[in-house]
Amino acid sequence: MKKLPVSLLFSLLLYPTVGHLEEKPVDLSLGKTLFNQSCVKCHGTAKKGAPRLGASEDWMGRSRDVDVLVSNVINGSSHMPPKGGTRSDSSGKLKAVVSYMLSTVPKQETAATTAPPEKYKTLAEGKKLYNQLCYSCHDNGENGAPIVGYMPDWENRIKLGKEALVQSVIEGKGMMMPKGGGGLESRAKYASIVDYMVAAVQDKELANSPEMKAQVKRSKEISNGLRLYNQVCFSCHNTGKHGAPQLGNKKAWEARRKQDIDTLVKHAIDGHGMMGEKGGSAIKSVEGVKSMVMYMLSTVDD
Ligand code: HEC
Ligand code: HEC
Ligand code: HEC
């Protein structure tokens, strides 16, 4: 109890900039190492809306309180597995990673100065639902789904008007089942997703944001990979023939995906076990093979 006034004084003096003084300073270099091991696969590419390192716009509206963020990571969210997919049982380690992540976001962009404009709050709701219900096709163009953020896929559809697009979702269209396969009752919720999808190509700020650009780049790569995959790789990887790790089978990929993507790509190019060079395809470019591997990995995402 004797100590209380002192630490209270410190907190009062330092809280706005430093916070939690009682604890040891966090090890940012440990945080960086752990980040590159466990978090970069989503947080490096804005996958499913993961806020990226150093991108202040991605952190808009999120808490800057390390402890709040750590507890959110421990609990996980719709597209982040609990503990960010790590087995770490030390919240100290997660604190080091989160502190490292926050250290890359420019200081002046504090929560107070980046309160999101009203528009983004509405779009954020649509985006959240999109990331739960619709991304599996609209991120990669599966079955000809228009890719979110990619204008050529949306130009003609937008001309139908927003109401007609919402109606397509409710009734289903082509290869898209009614309600896009989602089980929501409220039409307004689907309308909010369509708002987000339309804004992703039409709203200049959102469409030109680095986050959207990164997402579209990744989507285009994966959709290209999907197309190439369906020419050659499917013959073994759809069924698991010859012991090939099967598409969408998390267990089959669990150990393999711990290798970094470049190693997987190298194995696909050089051949591996029962798989011949380049998986038997005539493809020449490393980027082409990489896009196929990216697509394959995207089917075993959490
Ligand atoms: C499978 C992808 C994935 C992995 C792996 C992942 N994250 Fe995330 N993370 C996300 C997504 C998606 C969000 C955004 C979730 C949202 O807005 O609801 C997010 C959000 C966050 C946030 C912000 C939380 C908030 O309350 O705003 C932090 C901090 C974070 N992640 C840290 C980590 C750390 C640390 C790791 C590694 C140990 C990690 N993440 C690994 C996908 C991932
Ligand atoms: C199983 C894959 C799949 C899922 C999941 C999916 N879609 Fe689609 N979506 C498609 C395909 C394929 C098309 C193109 C249909 C066509 O024009 O033939 C499409 C088209 C659309 C269109 C354009 C409709 C039009 O009239 O041109 C909208 C808007 C849309 N989807 C919204 C959504 C929303 C919102 C969700 C989530 C609730 C969703 N989709 C989930 C596959 C999917
Ligand atoms: C003739 C069947 C066959 C075809 C076609 C094929 N694969 Fe494979 N693939 C396999 C088998 C079998 C394995 C497992 C090899 C092992 O670990 O012994 C494998 C493993 C892999 C792995 C994991 C490598 C690792 O390090 O664990 C990747 C990545 C891969 N294939 C990508 C591809 C791509 C991309 C294509 C298309 C260009 C393709 N494969 C076509 C049979 C095939």
pLDDT tens, position by position, 32-55? 888 888 888 788 877 777 888 888
Angle at 241 between CA 250 and CA 295, to 5 degrees: 45
Angle at 267 between CA 218 and CA 260, to 5 degrees: 50
Q: What is the pLDDT of residue 108?
A: 54
Structure token pair of residue 36: 């590159």
Is the CB of residue 176 below 6 angstroms from any atom belonging to ligand 2?
A: yes
Q: Are 48 and 131 in contact (CB under 8 A)?
A: yes
Query: CA-to-CA distance for 63 and 70, rounded, in angstroms?
Result: 11
Is the CB of residue 232 below 6 angstroms from any atom belonging to ligand 3?
A: yes
Q: Are 269 and 285 in contact (CB under 8 A)?
A: no
Q: What is the pLDDT of residue 169?
A: 96
Measure 37 CA to ligand 3 centroid, in angstroms: 24
Return the best residue to mutate from 275, 278, 284, 291 for the ligand 3 pocket (most ligand atoms within 8 A of CB).
275
Return the best residue to mutate from 162, 168, 226 for the ligand 2 pocket (most ligand atoms within 8 A of CB).
168
Query: CA-to-CA distance for 87 and 196, rounded, in angstroms?
Result: 34
Structure token pair of residue 267: 């194995």
Measure 276 CA to ligand 1 centroid, in angstroms: 37
How does pLDDT run across 42-97, given as a tens digit for each residue?
Answer: 888 777 778 888 887 778 778 888 888 888 888 887 677 888 877 776 778 888 89
How does pLDDT run across 105-146, given as a tens digit for each residue?
Answer: 876 544 444 455 666 677 888 988 998 889 889 988 888 899
Q: What is the pLDDT of residue 89?
A: 66
Is the CB of residue 282 below 6 angstroms from any atom belonging to ligand 3?
A: no
Query: CA-to-CA distance for 285 and 42, rounded, in angstroms?
Result: 25
Nearest CA to ligand 2 atom 40: 180
Angle at 209 between CA 155 and CA 65, to 5 degrees: 140
Greater model confidence, 16 or 219: 219
Q: What is the pLDDT of residue 45?
A: 74
Residue 205 pLDDT greater than 50, yes or no: yes
Query: CA-to-CA distance for 251 and 15, rounded, in angstroms?
Result: 46
Instruction: Specify the amino acid at residue 111.
Output: A
Query: CA-to-CA distance for 219 and 111, rounded, in angstroms?
Result: 30
Place 161 in a pLDDT band, splitting at 50, 70 and 90.
very high
Highest mean pLDDT among 106-115, 145-154, 174-183: 145-154
Q: How many residues does the chain have?
A: 302
Ligand 3 atom nearest residue 255's Cα: 27
Structure token pair of residue 14: 């330092």
How does pLDDT run across 7-23, given as a tens digit for each residue?
Answer: 444 444 444 444 444 45
Nearest CA to ligand 2 atom 2: 137
Instruction: Specify the amino acid at residue 242.
Output: H
